């Protein structure tokens, strides 16, 4: 009987583990997503190139430190030629110089915009396809706005995108936002209700960092570098997509370690909703490689909020390199999720349960599943203080 109750409870997660917007809108049950795990388009031709008789780093397997060394040995003219010929490879290659990646992704976004505009203008296409293409072209146009720093862009599937707010080259404190369900190219930067989008959350966090520490040099990265669950689909109740995402998050962090030289600490991870499942899978494997000048034994701060669980029963199972913080406000529907795991369904224990072992922080003033970074909330103040390393200001 107890097993039956557990199975029933876990199956119930399929009905609730979706982003607030989808849940509130009564979204139709979606099918399983196919995660993007292959190297970016153009990698095959890239691997056929030779530089001084040597092959370039393979995008599928080369360590970011190897990538950084490769680009460090190239003259600027050759770097720019690679941007022009292989924008999707260079733009998605962790370990490549961030500034070069920004330029490569501008090229890739402009190419995608032109492609989508051509589809939108084709009278032979179905009306729905033309409208979708026009919407996607508009998203690309907004991301091409001067001053935006797009660290990664992949047009495959629903689209992946990563943006930097601040100057990575000068930043002493870096934070990485890992979003949950329904995050993709089309939902990366919502004009309405921006705090339901990765870009809006990242901007809010950096603004709060600047308010608390105007002289601090900070950067916040909104990372939609993995295929997220959609709507009320089965993917929300399993770690399948998180398992595919974790190595990609690990490569991002290794790339930051290889290309940033000023940080005073490892990047802080802020993991929202299903993004906390990704962080739970990645945590035991976070490399201890640190930028020059950073204590190699330093802990990585990971903040999980609106979390359905991290796939473990206790914080100790995340490994010795992570210091875990957790927040959930009383009105967040995620609190109704059954915090169990059985037969691969569910995501384990509740991270705000005192027995779990996380440092629970206040989210006073926050409402709902997407309100944690709203101005004036205790959660926003606490998250920024953690990202700044001002632990004495956290409550």
Q: What is the DSSP string of 144-164?
A: TSTT-EEEEEE-STT-EEEEE
29-38, 132-141, 160-169, range with the lowest pLDDT? 29-38
Residue finishing a domain among 111, 127, 148: 148
The answer to whether the CB of 71 falls within 8 A of the CB of 100 is: yes
Per the model's pLDDT, the better-predicted residue between 329 and 191 turns out to be 329
d(CA 277, CA 282): 9
pLDDT above 70 (res 153): yes
12 and 63 assigned to the same domain: no
In a domain, 26, yes or no: no
Question: Concatenated DSSP letters for 196-207?
Answer: GSHHHHHHHHHH
In a domain, 24, yes or no: no
SS3 state at 259? helix
pLDDT above 60 (res 277): yes
Per the model's pLDDT, the better-predicted residue between 178 and 290 turns out to be 178
173 and 296 assigned to the same domain: yes
Residue finishing a domain among 100, 127, 148: 148
Question: Which pLDDT tens digit goes with each residue over 190-222?
Answer: 989 999 999 999 999 999 999 999 999 999 999
Q: What's the CATH code of the domain at 245?
A: 3.40.50.1820
Residue finishing a domain among 148, 181, 216: 148
In a domain, 32, yes or no: no
DSSP, res 94 = B
353 and 233 assigned to the same domain: yes
188 and 326 assigned to the same domain: yes
pLDDT, residue 296, reads 53
Q: Which two tokens stand for residue 27?
A: 């979204």
Count how many domains the chain has: 2
312 and 389 assigned to the same domain: yes
4 and 104 assigned to the same domain: no
225 and 312 assigned to the same domain: yes
Per the model's pLDDT, the better-predicted residue between 297 and 376 turns out to be 376
125 and 186 assigned to the same domain: no
For the chain, strand residue ranges (E) read 149-154, 160-166, 173-178, 218-224, 268-272, 300-305, 322-327, 359-360
In a domain, 221, yes or no: yes
188 and 56 assigned to the same domain: no
Average pLDDT of span 93-114: 98
pLDDT above 60 (res 251): yes
In a domain, 254, yes or no: yes
pLDDT above 50 (res 11): no
- 212 CB-near residues (< 8 Å, 6+ apart): 381, 384, 385, 388, 390, 393
Average pLDDT of span 57-82: 96
306 and 169 assigned to the same domain: yes
pLDDT, residue 32, reads 87
Q: Where are the alpha helices (DSSP H) in 176-294?
A: 198-212, 240-259, 274-282
231 and 91 assigned to the same domain: no
142 and 164 assigned to the same domain: no
In a domain, 180, yes or no: yes
In a domain, 330, yes or no: yes
Per the model's pLDDT, the better-predicted residue between 376 and 29 turns out to be 376
SS3 state at 85? helix
Nearest Cα neighbor of 172 from 95, 265, 295 is 265
In a domain, 34, yes or no: no
Residue 251 domain boundaries:
1-19+156-395
């Amino acid at each position: 009987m107890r097993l039956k109750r557990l199975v029933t409870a876990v199956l119930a997660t399929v009905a609730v583990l979706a982003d607030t917007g989808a849940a509130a809108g009564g979204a139709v049950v979606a099918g399983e997503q196919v995660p993007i795990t292959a190297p970016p388009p153009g990698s095959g031709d890239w691997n056929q190139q030779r530089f001084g008789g040597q092959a370039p780093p393979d995008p599928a397997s080369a360590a970011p430190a190897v990538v950084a060394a490769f680009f460090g040995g190239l003259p600027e003219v050759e770097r720019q030629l690679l941007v022009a010929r292989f924008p999707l490879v260079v733009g998605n290659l962790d370990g490549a110089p961030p500034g070069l990646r920004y330029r490569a992704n501008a090229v890739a976004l402009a190419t995608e915009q032109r492609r989508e505009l051509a589809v939108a203008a084709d009278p032979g296409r179905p009306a729905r396809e033309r409208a979708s293409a026009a919407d996607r072209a508009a998203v690309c146009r907004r991301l091409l706005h001067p001053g935006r720093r797009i660290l990664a862009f992949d047009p495959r599937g629903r689209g992946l995108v990563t943006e930097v707010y601040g100057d990575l080259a000068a930043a002493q404190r870096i934070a990485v936002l890992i979003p949950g369900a329904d995050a993709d190219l089309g939902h990366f930067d919502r004009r309405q209700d921006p705090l339901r989008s990765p870009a809006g959350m990242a901007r809010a966090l950096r603004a709060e960092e600047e308010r608390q520490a105007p002289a601090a040099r900070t950067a916040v990265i909104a990372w939609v570098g993995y295929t997220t669950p959609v709507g009320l689909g089965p993917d929300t109740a399993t770690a399948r997509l998180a398992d595919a995402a974790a190595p990609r998050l690990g490569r991002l962090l290794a790339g930051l370690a290889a290309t940033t030289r000023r940080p005073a600490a490892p990047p802080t991870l802020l993991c929202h909703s299903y993004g906390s499942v990704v962080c739970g899978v990645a945590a035991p494997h976070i490399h201890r490689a640190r930028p020059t000048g950073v204590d190699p034994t330093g802990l990585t701060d990971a903040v999980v909020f609106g979390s359905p669980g991290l796939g473990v029963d206790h914080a100790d199972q995340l490994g010795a390199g992570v210091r875990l913080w957790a927040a959930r406000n009383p009105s967040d529907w995620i609190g109704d999720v059954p915090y169990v795991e059985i037969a691969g369904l569910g995501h384990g224990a509740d991270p705000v349960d005192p027995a779990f072992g996380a440092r629970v922080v206040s989210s006073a003033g926050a409402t709902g599943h997407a309100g944690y970074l709203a101005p004036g909330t205790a959660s926003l103040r606490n998250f920024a203080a953690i990202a700044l390393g001002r632990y004495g200001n956290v409550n």
